[in-house]
Amino acid sequence: MSRIVVITSGKGGVGKTTTAASLAAGLARAGHRTAVVDFDVGLRNLDLVMGCERRVVFDFVNVINGDARLNQALIKDKRLSNLSILPASQTRDKDALTPDGVERVLDELRADFDYVICDSPAGIERGAHLASYHADDAIVVTNPEVSSVRDSDRVLGLLASRTRRAEQGDDPVREHLLLTRYDPQRVKKGDMLSVEDVQEILAINLLGVIPESQSVLNASNAGIPVVLEDGEDAGQAYNDAIARYLGEDRPHRFLQAERRGLFGRMFGG
Amino acid sequence: MASRPPDASSSEAFELKGRMATLTVVRVLTTDVDALIRQLTEKLEEAPRLLRGAPMILDLDGVDGGALDLQRLAGEMRALGAAPVAVRGNGVEPGRLASAGLGVLPAEEEREANGQSAGRAARREAAPASPGPAAAASRVIDSPVRSGQQIYARGGSLVVLGPVGPGAEVLADGDVHIYGALRGRALAGVQGNAGASIFCLGLEAELVSVAGEYQVSERFAAELIGRPARVHLDEQAGLRIEAFGKS
């Protein structure tokens, strides 16, 4: 049974697209047929992060409008054979997405793939609503700061009330928290909320904590999903999160500041 | 028990049940429909979410029901988004009620807030043993209340089994119980019940209010923040916030 997973947050710039790319690549590497769909029509980015921007011919809106078949628009990843990308249109806006069109495309993807990852745009309007509407699972990407946490709380409320599962009275959307750009040093200084603070406020299952890392930006610029960078802490953290999503029990890492000097003595043992 | 018709093999289309329900009572104090509508419009603007669509009873005890243009009043109220369902009181003929689309409630059946007349109470006691007025049911929410959500327990208390997020709003005509942290707004006794309280396991609210008396978080005492707390109205001191339990 295939699952539709939405990557959402409310707030922009917290790491939705990075997460969508890494989750898709990680699931594909684990042997699952995976498609990742860019819902950010007009501000398309996913193709850049996936490194396929020069191979985009048709896009999501073309498929919805019937200008192209789904298979013509899907781009096969060059690294992972069972990973496909459906890019957004850059020349249109979110109004080009119709509820019927989105449903048709997702149904078609469901038939061919084990996981369909929907990269939601920021906000809570049409684009974000349509990206979340058909979701079975939601990964709520949150930064450890108050405005991001509040927006995530709002998004969780919408997931519980305005999705297909909520409207039809099915089992609710399974919600997961992914905390990104986590900097234990700044948490310790009190500049950032801690994992415990965020979890306490949002009260949902913690899928993983991705440390703030230069490697994320480097990987994005190079068009490589950071999960494929096995030598980097952020890549390992994404790998852990994906393993947990697939049901594996792994301890959380990268939560403590590296011990140096004074800190080492204060927190020794 | 009524005997069933012989062919009642299929499932029944409905059941008739007597239920206690809390309705908003509009005590009509004038027969001037224009004045009534004007003031109702103002009230609805003040609290549109609470009153729009709310079933209402028109209490005509205070006026001469025969002199009131019921059909027009009911029509105008519906145009405003209110839902008049019945009339309580004297002097209205059934025909006029029917044309206004309203039912009728005998005046003495409604429970008076302060048990006005002894005769009335005696009559109720003498009546055949019918179940007393049931306490209004609590509304129980078994998931966190998220930012942007508004939950209102009309006519009773609200129980939330989880936290109330920042930017969320929980309201009740009775008490508000939150088995978790209160980070949004909580309003108890919103129809004016000054005996209502708010209880929460962690006070981090943006605003608390009982029967219209409110306080914003800026004015909370620092030692109360994050503690289990009760918010209630004190006759002398106004709104009081007190910690409870140990810690």
> Measured between beta carbons, which residues in chain B are less than 8 angstroms from residue A153?
146-147, 165-168
What single letter denotes the amino acid at residue A9? S
Q: What six digits make up the tokens of A15? A: 């790491």
Whole-number pLDDT of residue B125 = 43
CB distance B25 to B109 below 8 Å: no
Among partner residues A150, A156, A200, which is closest to B166 by beta-carbon distance?
A: A150
User: Residue B205's pLDDT is what?
Assistant: 95
**pLDDT tens column, B127-139:** 444 444 556 789 9
Side by side, which strands form the sheet with B103-105?
B24-27, B55-59, B83-88, B103-105
**Is the Cβ pair B181, A200 closer than 8 Å?**
yes
- Sort out which chain B residues have CB atoms less than 8 A from A154's CB and list them: 146-148, 165, 167
* Closest chain A C-alpha to B179 CA, distance in angstroms: 13
Beta bridge partner(s), residue B25: B57
The structure tokens listed for A89 are 């249109």
Could you read off the pLDDT of B146-198 as tens digits, one per residue?
Answer: 998 999 999 999 999 999 999 899 999 999 999 999 999 999 999 999 999 99
The alpha-carbon gap from A201 to the nearest alpha carbon of chain B, in Å, equals: 7
| Burial of residue B122, with CB atoms counted within 10 A of its CB: 0-12 exposed, 13-18 middle, 19 or more buried | exposed
What is the residue-wise DSSP string for A105-162? HHHHHHHH-SEEEEEPPSSSSHHHHHHHHT-SEEEEEE-SSHHHHHHHHHHHHHHTTS
For the entire predicted model, the pTM comes to 0.68
> What is the number of CB-based contacts under 8 A between chain A and chain B?
42
Instruction: Express each pLDDT in B59-108 by its tens digit.
Output: 887 777 778 888 888 888 888 778 888 887 766 777 777 778 888 776 65
Is A150 at the interface with chain B, CB within 8 A? Answer: yes
3-state secondary structure of A3: strand
Of A157, A200, A201, the CB nearest to B148: A157
Residues from chain A that touch B163, judged by Cβ atoms under 8 A, are 200-201, 203
Question: pLDDT (tens digit, 9 = 90+) per residue, B3-37?
Answer: 444 454 556 788 776 666 667 788 888 888 888 88
Q: Which A-chain residues 198-237 have CB contacts (< 8 A) with chain B?
A: 200-203
How far is A154 from chain B, CA to nearest CA, in Å?
4
Neighbours of A3 (CB within 10 A): 17
Q: What mean pLDDT is predicted for residues A186-201? A: 94
Q: What is the pLDDT of residue B91?
A: 66
A157 interaction partners in chain B (CB closer than 8 Å): 145-149, 165, 168
Given a cut of 50, whether residue B47 has pLDDT beyond it is yes
Distance CA B118, CA A205 (A): 59
Q: Among A154, A160, A200, whose Cβ lies nearest the Cβ of B143?
A: A160
Q: Kindly list the residues from chain A whose CB atom is less than 8 angstroms away from the CB atom of residue B165.
A: 150, 153-154, 157, 201
Q: Is residue B28 less than 8 Å (CB to CB) from chain A? A: no
Asked whether the ipTM of the predicted complex exceeds the cut of 0.90, the reply is: no
Q: Is pLDDT above 90 for B55?
A: no
